[in-house]
A = this chain, B = another copy of it.
Amino acid sequence: MPTIDLETETGRKEALRRMLTIRQFDTTAGERFADGEIPGFVHLYIGEEAVGVGACSALEDDDYITSTHRGHGHCIAKGLDPKPMMAELYGKREGYCNGKGGSMHIADVDAGMLGANGIVGAGPPLGTGAALTIDRKGEDRVALSFLGDGAVAQGQVHSAANLAATWDLPVIFLVENNHYGEGTPVEEQHNVENLSATAGAYNVPGITVDGMDITAVNEAVTEARERARAGDGPTFIEAETYRFHGHFEGDEELYREDDEVERWEARDPIETFAQRLIDRGELTNEEYEALQSEVETTIEEALEYAQSAEEPAPEEAYDDMFAAEVPEITEFARRVRADGGDPDGGER
């Protein structure tokens, strides 16, 4: 059973809710970052919601995903809880990573979310590895790796795709082509019209879909998932989409024109999907507004949760390096925390 069945009315409403949740989460994160409350970097998913939700809806709960630096949307789409997500952005102990990861490393391995990733192109090899576990253990699940258009230039993506294709591993590669890698347009990063052309190098199906249309994404992933489960190996999907905000919050966006942004904003994946449901009579305007305010409440609560959560204690910095106890770390921690301790050097 897919996580969210877009063939059903409830499913479609749930998908809409998730897209709205992403939008609201990232709007809030962007504001809080601009206000200096959230440290580090944040990369917002606003505008790309149909890709994440369309894809993760087609997965089952125990399928794996690997994500990117732009991971909030994937997390919410995969069913992660906005509270510990936001707490992680705030670097709090209640965050998914106890404050050690931040926006770029949110993970919930038990939920099949193998981590946002600060390294462009690192996800596909990891997804291939998850698929290898699945394959070797004969499990009935798949892995899906999100990657950006820019990431398609990374060698390790290709090395992994070659491995997955050769071994028929149950993994799906989903390129979110938002037309830029930071400030560089996709045409300056690649020589192909469509990045799904990559599939040809590995003799796997390659397909380009409208990433502003949740249904199109969902169908492509559903099909790819079937292929994967049937032992027919990977599929390479390109979803054409757009990020409405800058690459990171604070980006001056000198590399693109306002009217390009407006053209894409006119195709807002949430508005168009909501309108479709309204047109079909599945959703009333009132219900839509109610949904929006529910989601606002959810994110407000997440924000409050995060803001009032505890800072990790400094000495927690020394935890989690290894499963085993490592004397170096214990010793260095002791030295730093004891304000230096004794001069050592053995006995005089």
Binding site for B on A (CB under 8 A): 152-159, 162-163, 165-166, 188-193, 197-198, 200-204, 233
Contact = CB atoms under 8 A, between A and B. Distances in A.
A317 to B, nearest CB: 34
Q: 4 nearest interchain CB pairs?
A: A155-B155, A158-B158, A200-B200, A165-B191
A216 to B, nearest CB: 23
A159 B159 CA distance: 10
Nearest to A157: B155
A203 to B, nearest CB: 4
A155 B152 CA distance: 11
Copies in the complex: 2
Nearest to A202: B191
B166 A188 contact: yes
12 contacts: A153-B162, A155-B159, A162-B190, A166-B190, A166-B191, A190-B202, A191-B202, A191-B203, A191-B233, A192-B203, A197-B201, A200-B200
A214 B152 CA distance: 35
Contacts of A201: 158, 192, 197-198, 200-201
Given A154-B155, A166-B189, A197-B201, 11 more contacts: A153-B159, A153-B162, A157-B158, A158-B201, A162-B190, A166-B188, A190-B202, A191-B202, A192-B201, A193-B203, A201-B201
Contacts of A158: 155, 157-159, 201
Contacts of A198: 201
B202 A192 contact: yes
A279 B203 CA distance: 41
